[in-house]
Amino acid sequence: VASQKFKDLENGNFEMWTNRQVIHEFLVTATNINKQNKKNPFKNIDTIRFFSQFKIADENQLVTDQLISLVSEYKISGKLIHDANIVATMLVNNIPQLLTHNIKDFTRFKKIITVVPLLLVL
C-alpha cells in the first residue's frame, strides 16, 4: 500500500523527504525475524530501494537543538523521542507535512506540522 502511494505522489511531482532514522526503522521492521519473514528476514529488503526517490534530511546541530526544545516543550520521554526527532528534522528543513501510518504518536505536534494519514492519500 505504501509503495503504491509513494509512486502516486512521485507521479504528482511532490517533493518527498525522509531522514536516516526512518530508513533505519524501516530496516529494523523489514528484517525482524520475530514479527515477519520467519524463513527469510531479508526477503523484503529490496523494498528499501523505494527510498531512492526521497531527498534525505540529515540531522545536524540545528536538528539537535530543535529536538531538545521539543522534548522540553512537549514533555516527551522514552521512545517518543524518536518521533520528536522526526518532527525536529522536519522543522529545521521546512518540511510541513508528515505522511504516516502512525498518526497517534504525531497528533501532539499538529500545531506545528500537518499529519497526513498514509491510507487517505490519493
- DSSP class per residue in 5-23: HHHHHHHTT---EE-HHHH
For the chain, strand residue ranges (E) read 17-18, 55-56, 97-100, 114-117
Residue 6: its pLDDT value, please?
72
Of the listed ranges 13-22, 60-69, 72-81, the least confidently predicted one is 13-22
Q: Pairing mode, if any, of strands 114-117 and 97-100? A: parallel
Confidence class for position 42, pLDDT limits 50, 70, 90: low
Greater model confidence, 79 or 48: 79
* pLDDT score recorded for residue 34: 67
